[in-house]
Amino acid sequence: LELKLYSSKPGASIMMEPDPEFIMVMEEIIRKNNIRSVFESGTYLGTGSTETLAKLFVENNKKPEKFITVETNLDYFIKAKKNLAKYNFIKPVFGLSVDYLEAVKFLVNDRVFENLDKYEEIYIDHLSNPQHYYLKEIMIGVVQEGLEKSTQKKNISFFSSGKKETIEFKNNVLSDFCCDLYHESSLIVLDSAAGIGFYEFNQVNQLMYNREYYLVLDDIEHLKHFRSREYIETHSEEYNIISQSKEAGWLIAKSHRKKNVN
């Protein structure tokens, strides 16, 4: 098995590092377009792609009406919320972009894990039982929410106000985001849990069908999005690749499906 561990990749980071070329391309897109809605999966601490994009919107005086960023790890979410507090147009959400049970089903049944030896150039996070580790990644938020509620219940005394904010795990956030869209220009950034990256991309394809939007993928040389990248590269009737960097691991595309005419 010749798969490469992601940790061995030069410049490997859990955070999407600000790349000068990425910033230049995104700056032009934001400057030339009126992007009103932004969705990002995989906030981490909010100091990577989230803040990079936030600064570009502010610098170009084009704050979007809606900017949702989703993080499935409660500890990361709490830190990200503090880090992003200065950007009042960003709404961090603790939850999962896609449906939790469907994501688990996809991961358990994904045939790619039976044929990993075919993908010598693809990076992966765990060589031993990767499905197990990726399941833990998407399950962590649900587990943490349960622990948080249990701890709060124990800590409520007779004299406490009981007004402490409860943090609820939001499921299927991407679907809600897409349902609320009308005809505005949108940006979708996918950088969440590695095991369900391709499922998440497929959900965007379905939910945004016949809509025009900009799409950013992070980790295109990784198990997360190598199939998403291949789909975009082989479906020129659906996507136009604006720019990509295999070294830095990102891809920017625009969907150009024709909108339905009633």
Helix axis angle, 197-207 to 226-234, nearest 10°: 40
Contact 252, 242 (CB under 8 A): yes
pTM value is: 0.87
For residue 203, the model assigns a pLDDT of: 97
**Tell me, what's the pLDDT at 26?**
97
- For residue 137, the model assigns a pLDDT of 86
Token representation of residue 92 = 């961090």
Model confidence over 170-185: pLDDT tens digits? Answer: 999 999 999 888 777 9
Q: What are the residue ranges in the chain where pLDDT is below 70?
A: 1-17, 127, 146-165, 257-262
Question: CB of 222 within 8 A of CB of 112?
Answer: no
Which residues fall within 8 angstroms of residue 192, CB to CB, at 6 or more apart?
41, 42, 70, 72, 96, 97, 200
3-state secondary structure of 222: strand
Give the Cβ contact number of residue 65 at 10 Å.
Answer: 10
And the tokens for 208? 């945004």
Residue 124 near residue 116, CB atoms below 8 Å: yes
pLDDT at 48: 92
Whether residue 190 contacts residue 41, with contact meaning beta carbons closer than 8 Å, is answered with yes
Per-residue pLDDT, 37: 97
85-89-92 Cα angle (round to 5): 60
pLDDT in tens, 191-232: 987 789 999 999 999 999 888 899 999 989 888 999 999 999
Task: Give the pLDDT score at 261.
Answer: 46
What Å distances lie between residue 106 and 73, 109, 179, CA to CA?
A: 20, 5, 23
Q: In what order do the strands lie in the sheet with 213-218?
A: 90-94, 66-71, 35-41, 185-190, 213-218, 250-255, 239-245
Provide the pLDDT for residue 103. 94
pLDDT of residue 262: 46
- Chain centroid to CA 85: 19
pLDDT at position 4 is 61
| 18, 24 contact by CB (below 8 A) | no
Q: How many residues does the chain have?
A: 262
